[in-house]
Amino acid sequence: MLRFVLNKLALIVPTLIGITICAFGFVRLLPGDPILALAGEHGVTPERYEILKHQFGFDQPIWMQYFGYIGGILRGDFGTSIETHRPVIQEFLTLFPATIELSLCAIIFAIVLGIPVGIFAATRRGTVIDQGLMGTALVGYSMPIFWWGLLLIIFFSGLLHWTPVSGRIDVRYFFKPVTGLMLIDSLISGQKGAFQSVLSHLILPTIVLGTIPLAVIARQTRSAMLEVMGEDYVRTARAKGLRRVRVVGVHALRNALIPVVTTIGLQIGTLLAGAILTETIFAWPGIGKWLVDAIFKRDYVVVQSSLLLVALVVMGVNLVVDVLYAVINPRIRVQ
Amino acid sequence: MADTTTEIAPIVSTKRFSGIREFWHYFAQSRGAVLGLIIFVLLIVVALIAPLIAPHDPNEQFKPLFLLPPSWAPGGDPRFLLGTDPVGRDVLSRLIYGSQFSLLIGAIVVALSVAGGITLGLIAGYFRGWADVVIMRLMDLILAFPPLLLALVLVTVLGPGLINAMLAIALTLQPYFARLVRAAVMAEKNREYVISARLAGAGHFRLMLITILPNCLAPLIVQATLCFSDAILAAAALGFLGLGAQPPTPEWGTMLANAREFIQRAPWVVTFPGLCILVTVLAINLIGDGLRDALDPKLKRS
- The tens digit of pLDDT for each residue in A280-332 reads 999 999 999 999 999 888 888 899 888 899 888 888 888 888 887 777 776 66
Strand, coil or helix: B84: strand
Predicted confidence at residue B172, as pLDDT, reads 93
d(CA A103, CA A97): 10
Express each pLDDT in B183-238 by its tens digit: 888 888 888 888 888 888 888 888 888 888 888 888 888 889 999 999 999 999 99
d(CA A114, CA A137): 9
Residues 6+ apart with CB under 8 A from A138: A215, A219, B32, B282, B285, B286, B289
| Average confidence score pLDDT of chain B | 85
Q: Which residues of A touch B239 (CB under 8 A)?
A: none
Label residue B297 by pLDDT band (50, 70, 90): low
**Backbone φ and ψ of A80, nearest 5°:** -120, 135
d(CA B79, CA A232): 65
Inter-chain contact B141–A227, Cβ cutoff 8 Å? no
Q: Mean pLDDT lowest for which of A21-25, A232-236, B155-159?
A: A232-236
Determine the average pLDDT of the residues in B265-289.
Answer: 91
> Testing the interface with B: which of A146, A153, A214, A217 to mutate, by most B Cβ within 10 A?
A146
* B75 contacts B62 by C-beta, under 8 angstroms: no
Instruction: Pick A138's closest partner by Cβ from B141, B145, B286.
Output: B286
> Testing the interface with A: which of B137, B148, B272 to mutate, by most A Cβ within 10 A?
B148
Instruction: Pick B149's closest partner by Cβ from A153, A280, A310.
Output: A310
Amino acid at site A244:
R
Inter-chain contact A151–B243, Cβ cutoff 8 Å? no
Over 80: is that where the pLDDT of A57 sits? Answer: no
Amino acid at site A328:
I
Express each pLDDT in B61-110 by its tens digit: 887 777 778 878 887 778 888 888 888 888 899 999 999 999 999 999 99
Over 70: is that where the pLDDT of B151 sits? Answer: yes
Over 80: is that where the pLDDT of A38 sits? Answer: no
CA pseudo-torsion sign A216, A219, A223, A229: positive
Amino acid at site A302:
V
Q: Which of 99-138 (A) contact B at CB < 8 A?
A: 135, 138
Inter-chain contact A139–B243, Cβ cutoff 8 Å? no
Alpha helices in chain B (DSSP H): 16-27, 31-48, 50-53, 91-127, 129-144, 147-158, 162-188, 192-199, 204-205, 217-241, 252-259, 268-295
Q: Which residues of A touch B266 (CB under 8 A)?
A: none
Q: Is A253 an 8 Å CB contact of chain B?
A: no
Over 70: is that where the pLDDT of B3 sits? Answer: no
Name the residue of chain B whose CA is nearest to A268's CA: B146
Most confident of A79-83, A255-259, A266-270, B123-127: B123-127
Q: Is A270 an 8 Å CB contact of chain B?
A: yes
Burial class (CB in 10 A: 0-12, 13-18, 19+), A176: exposed
Q: Is A15 an 8 Å CB contact of chain B?
A: yes
Inter-chain contact B302–A296, Cβ cutoff 8 Å? no
Predicted confidence at residue A7, as pLDDT, reads 84
Question: Nearest CA of chain A to the CA of B183: how many Å?
Answer: 17
Predicted confidence at residue A140, as pLDDT, reads 94
Question: Nearest CA of chain B to the CA of A18: how many Å?
Answer: 6
* A201 contacts A164 by C-beta, under 8 angstroms: yes
Predicted confidence at residue B298, as pLDDT, reads 53
Q: What is the pTM of this model?
A: 0.87
Predicted confidence at residue B14, as pLDDT, reads 53
d(CA A175, CA A163): 21
Instruction: Pick A311's closest partner by Cβ from B145, B277, B302.
Output: B145
Instruction: Pick B140's closest partner by Cβ from A15, A223, A272.
Output: A15
Report yes or no for ipTM above 0.90.
Answer: no
Q: Which residues of A touch B156 (CB under 8 A)?
A: 30, 295, 300, 303
Express each pLDDT in B21-62 by its tens digit: 877 887 888 888 999 999 999 999 999 998 898 888 888 888
E strand or H helix that includes residue A330:
helix A330-334
Over 90: is that where the pLDDT of A181 sits? Answer: no
Inter-chain contact A223–B302, Cβ cutoff 8 Å? yes
Determine the average pLDDT of the residues in B281-298.
Answer: 84
d(CA A224, CA A261): 11
d(CA B196, CA B207): 10
Inter-chain contact A277–B140, Cβ cutoff 8 Å? no
Inter-chain contact B144–A314, Cβ cutoff 8 Å? yes
Instruction: Pick A144's closest partner by Cβ from B242, B267, B278.
Output: B278
Inter-chain contact A227–B271, Cβ cutoff 8 Å? no
Inter-chain contact B282–A291, Cβ cutoff 8 Å? no
Predicted confidence at residue A27, as pLDDT, reads 82
Over 80: is that where the pLDDT of B8 sits? Answer: no
Predicted confidence at residue A51, as pLDDT, reads 82
